[in-house]
């Protein structure tokens, strides 16, 4: 007996008991609908956190000095006092690293930014021109500084929006104006696009960017650098890039194989994963609850299939008498169970997708209906059908034709 | 010489009920050739039903031999028995056993579904032919509860014929019908028999046996009588001679 015929037979059998078939399906419909809606809510929140974080430059890698060595009575040194990162490290990375697209040194200092009668305490970060690429930061007006500005340690700067709001009068164009940072005058050549608060509530726009050489020589009078920022060629190569950077820096710092690293490398991906794992947990919980309702739906199918087998004992006896093998009977009932669960699954998918859309529409929660959740819940449905349909179908196939025929 | 359809040698069947063994058949031997119309008679408890189950390959003998169209039934698996039932036997039951809410045509197609030798395209054609041969060519789409008892039994007979079996096995096929309709069904069986079908008819009504060419009588698990019927009545003539019921 071929599959089409089996499906036709099963379809007819179900149509004879429409209400019952629908009620049996309802368990599956609710189960699948719940799985899809729940997963889409979970995925949606994960996606929104992820996109917020990528706004910070998702390929970004940050290198900070780190030391296990101690001074005096065993007190460990903090990071700011460490002078292990050098410009040579940046050069080596530029020359040797294959998985890094951009690299920039970073030094920063705090002081008052002053323009006319107004002043504002802020941070000046000295970086290379490539820093803007690393942070995926654009200018809303003006021009970025160049490698020439770095070479000549020019007193030029890019202002963050918060700084502008605090020291310029509204509507005034800051480009070309000279502000003072501490005691040193800087010419404003560009305005940074507003980035807003980061995930931790820090204002990312409260900053002034300047060439690193200017900050190093004219303000701090140091030769070392505080941090190195770099970006991996893509999000997936963060790990490879981290390994590569570690190797380069260890050679540069002449570390012996047994020595600990005198720096730490942080990637944005790690951060994303940490935060995502929270919402991942939420997704798993929601899915588990939805999964239970799918299980209950499956038991409903099993129950109805047993009723159906008992009810149709005589039919089974007849089919056997005219030549149906146990296998044919088994398949017939199995296909019926699978048809119930798959039809329920299809309705459930439609319902779940609609519910997810409604959640976004009325509650404003981000939802994301992923293809995998549809495929997965569909597969679970089919498996539920097979699993819970198998035992009733098997008991049907093992009936004794003589007794089945005489069954009233 | 006609082909041998049934060859039964010293057939025994016993059941264990609790600690007791009941011998339903205590050594039965007979043969049936192609083209015969045999009735198996017997009162209840005579082993008639057991005989029927074994003849229908639904049950296997405890001892003895049963050859159906040259195939030894003993030692066949459940699946092989199912195939044998499908190809070689056409069942007709007392209570018709048609699938409810299923058209006559689909009911008749049923045995073909389990026969892989018949391609799907030929099923419908064969089923229509079988229904036409029992005089129901105009009722193809009727479901059982739109048909009278006699018509339902005709559908069941068409279903038995559709796979061209070597033997039609009827179990009290007229038991649920009034005498007029019974004669109509018997006339149909006789007509099929003259066309060469081998028919084995299990019944307890002596009246029905008079339409067959041979009667085997069972009693207490043994054959007590096996006689050729010299004077076969024609069901068609009996039917024609019956006074027409005024209520109809």
User: What is the DSSP annotation of B84-96?
Assistant: HHHHHEEEE-TT-
Check B114 against A402: CB less than 8 A apart. Answer: no
Residue A76 is predicted with a pLDDT of 64
Check A322 against B114: CB less than 8 A apart. Answer: yes
Beta-strand (E) ranges in chain B?
4-17, 20-33, 37-41, 63-68, 71-72, 89-92, 167-171, 198-203, 214-219, 222-228
Reply yes or no on whether the pLDDT at B248 is more than 50: no
- Asked whether residue B40 is domain-assigned, the answer is yes
Each residue's pLDDT tens digit, B143-192? 999 999 999 999 999 999 999 999 999 999 998 899 899 999 999 999 99
CATH code where residue B12 lies: 3.40.50.300
- Judge whether A157 and A181 are in contact, CB under 8 Å: yes
Chain A residues whose CB is inside 8 A of the B59 CB are 402
CA atoms within 13 A of residue B232's CA, in its CB half-sphere: 20
Average of per-residue pLDDT across B210-236: 91
> Rounded to an integer, what distance in angstroms lies between the CA atom of residue A3 and that of residue A331?
9
Domain that holds residue B14: 4-100+148-153+163-241
Distance from CA of B96 to the nearest CA of A (A): 10
Task: Tell me which residue of A39, A35, A43 sits closest to A378, measured CA to CA.
Answer: A35
Each residue's pLDDT tens digit, B40-99? 998 888 889 899 999 999 998 999 999 999 899 988 999 999 999 999 999 999 999 999
Check B85 against A321: CB less than 8 A apart. Answer: yes
**Count of structural domains, chain B:** 1
Non-local (6+) Cβ contacts of A110 within 8 A are A121, A122, A123, A124
- Asked whether residue B118 is domain-assigned, the answer is no
**CB-closest option in B93, B99, B114 to A1:** B114
Percent of chain B with pLDDT over 90: 65
Non-local (6+) Cβ contacts of A130 within 8 A are A102, A103, A104
Average of per-residue pLDDT across A35-45: 84
Residue-averaged pLDDT of chain A: 85
- Asked whether residue B87 is domain-assigned, the answer is yes
Chain B residues whose CB is inside 8 A of the A332 CB are none
Choose, out of A321, A326, A394, A407, the residue to mutate when testing the contact with B (most B CBs < 10 Å). A321
Block residue for tokens 């009932």 = A333
pLDDT interval class at A73 (50, 70, 90): low
Q: Any bridge partners for residue B92, and if so which?
A: B170
Reply yes or no on whether the pLDDT at A75 is more than 70: no
Reply yes or no on whether the pLDDT at A199 is more than 70: no
**CB-closest option in A322, A326, A327 to B86:** A322
Check A405 against B97: CB less than 8 A apart. Answer: yes
Reply yes or no on whether the pLDDT at A69 is more than 90: no
DSSP-derived 3-state class of residue B132? helix
- Asked whether residue B95 is domain-assigned, the answer is yes
- Judge whether A118 and A163 are in contact, CB under 8 Å: no
Task: Tell me which residue of B39, B133, B56, B94 sits closest to A322, measured CA to CA.
Answer: B56
Percent of chain A with pLDDT over 70: 93
* Virtual torsion, Cα A77, A79, A82, A85, nearest 10 deg: 150
> Rounded to an integer, what distance in angstroms lies between the CA atom of residue B80 and that of residue A330?
17
- Asked whether residue B197 is domain-assigned, the answer is yes
Residue A81 is predicted with a pLDDT of 59
Burial tier of A251 (Cβ tally within 10 Å: 0-12, 13-18, 19+): exposed
Q: Which residues of A touch B (CB under 8 A)?
A: 1-2, 5, 12, 16, 314-315, 317-328, 401-402, 405
Residue-averaged pLDDT of chain B: 90
Q: Which residue of chain B comes nearest to A327, CA vs CA? A: B79
Each residue's pLDDT tens digit, A246-268? 888 888 888 888 878 888 888 87
Burial tier of A76 (Cβ tally within 10 Å: 0-12, 13-18, 19+): exposed
Reply yes or no on whether the pLDDT at A79 is more than 50: yes
DSSP-derived 3-state class of residue A183? coil
Reply yes or no on whether the pLDDT at A143 is more than 60: yes
Each residue's pLDDT tens digit, A283-318? 788 778 777 878 888 888 889 999 999 999 999 999
Chain B residues whose CB is inside 8 A of the A322 CB are 85-86, 91, 110-111, 114, 159
Each residue's pLDDT tens digit, A356-371? 999 889 888 888 888 8
Percent of chain A with pLDDT over 90: 31
- Asked whether residue B56 is domain-assigned, the answer is yes
Chain B residues whose CB is inside 8 A of the A12 CB are 102
Check B101 against A320: CB less than 8 A apart. Answer: no
> Rounded to an integer, what distance in angstroms lies between the CA atom of residue A107 and that of residue A306?
75
Q: Any bridge partners for residue B20, and if so which?
A: B17
- Asked whether residue B129 is domain-assigned, the answer is no
Helices vs. strands in chain B: H and E counts, helices first: 8, 10
Distance from CA of B86 to the nearest CA of A (A): 4
Q: What's the full length of chain B, in residues?
A: 248
Task: Tell me which residue of B188, B200, B124, B123 sits closest to B150, measured CA to CA.
Answer: B188
- Asked whether residue B123 is domain-assigned, the answer is no
């Amino acid at each position: 007996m071929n599959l089409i015929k089996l499906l036709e037979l099963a379809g007819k059998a179900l149509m004879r008991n429409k209400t019952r078939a629908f009620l049996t399906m309802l368990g599956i419909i609710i189960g699948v609908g719940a799985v899809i809606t729940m997963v889409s809510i979970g995925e949606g929140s994960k996606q929104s956190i992820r996109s917020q974080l990528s706004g910070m430059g998702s390929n970004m890698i940050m290198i900070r000095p780190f030391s296990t060595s101690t001074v005096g009575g065993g007190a460990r040194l903090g990071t700011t006092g460490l002078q292990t990162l050098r410009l040579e490290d940046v050069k080596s990375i530029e020359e040797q690293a294959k998985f890094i697209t951009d690299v920039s040194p970073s030094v920063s200092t705090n002081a008052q930014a002053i323009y006319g009668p107004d002043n504002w305490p802020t941070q000046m970060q000295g970086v290379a021109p490539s820093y803007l690429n690393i942070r995926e930061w654009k200018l809303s007006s003006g021009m970025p500084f160049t490698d020439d500005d770095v070479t000549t340690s020019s007193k030029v700067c890019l202002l963050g929006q918060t700084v502008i709001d605090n020291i310029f009068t509204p509507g005034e164009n800051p480009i070309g104006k000279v502000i003072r940072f501490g005691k040193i005058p800087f010419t404003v050549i560009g305005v940074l696009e507003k980035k807003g608060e980061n995930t931790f509530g820090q204002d990312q726009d409260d900053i002034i960017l300047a060439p690193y050489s200017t900050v190093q020589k004219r303000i701090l009078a140091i030769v070392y650098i505080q941090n190195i920022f770099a970006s991996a060629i893509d999000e997936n190569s963060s790990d490879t890039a981290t390994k590569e950077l570690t190797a380069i820096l260890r050679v540069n710092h002449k570390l012996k194989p047994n020595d600990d690293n005198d720096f730490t490398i942080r990637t944005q991906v790690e951060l994303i994963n940490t935060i995502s794992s929270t919402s991942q947990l939420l997704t798993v919980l929601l899915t588990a609850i939805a999964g239970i309702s799918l299980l209950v739906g499956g038991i409903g199918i099993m129950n109805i299939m047993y009723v159906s087998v008992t009810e149709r004992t005589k039919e089974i006896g007849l089919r056997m008498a005219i030549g149906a093998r146990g296998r044919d009977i088994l398949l017939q009932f199995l296909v019926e169970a699978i048809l119930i669960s798959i039809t329920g699954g299809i309705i459930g998918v439609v319902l779940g997708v609609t519910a997810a859309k409604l959640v976004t529409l009325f509650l404003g929660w981000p939802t994301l209906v992923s293809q995998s959740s549809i495929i997965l819940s569909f597969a679970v449905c089919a498996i539920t059908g097979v699993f819970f349909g198998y035992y009733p179908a098997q008991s049907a196939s093992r009936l004794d034709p003589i007794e089945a025929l005489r069954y009233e | 010489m006609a082909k041998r359809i049934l060859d039964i040698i010293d057939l025994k069947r016993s059941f264990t009920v609790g600690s007791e063994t009941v011998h339903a058949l205590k050594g039965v031997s007979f043969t049936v050739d192609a083209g015969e119309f045999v009735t198996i008679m017997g009162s209840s408890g005579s082993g008639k039903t057991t005989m029927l189950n074994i003849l229908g390959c639904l049950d296997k003998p405890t001892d003895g031999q049963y050859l159906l169209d040259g195939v030894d039934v003993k030692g066949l698996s459940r699946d092989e028995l199912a195939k044998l039932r499908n190809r070689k036997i056409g069942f007709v039951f007392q209570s018709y056993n048609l699938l409810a809410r299923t058209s006559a045509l689909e009911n008749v197609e049923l045995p073909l579904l389990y026969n892989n030798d018949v391609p799907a395209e030929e099923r419908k054609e064969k089923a229509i032919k079988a229904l036409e041969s029992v005089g129901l060519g105009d009722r193809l789409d009727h479901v059982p509860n739109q048909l009278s008892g006699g018509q339902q039994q005709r559908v069941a007979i068409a279903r038995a014929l559709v796979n061209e079996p070597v033997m039609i096995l009827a179990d009290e096929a007229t038991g649920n019908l009034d005498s007029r309709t019974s004669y109509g069904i018997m006339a149909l069986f006789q007509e099929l028999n003259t066309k060469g079908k081998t028919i084995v008819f299990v019944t307890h009504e002596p009246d029905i046996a008079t339409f067959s060419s041979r009667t085997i009588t069972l009693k207490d698990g043994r054959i007590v009588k096996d006689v050729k019927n010299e004077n076969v009545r024609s069901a068609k003539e009996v039917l024609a001679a019956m006074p027409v019921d005024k209520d109809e």
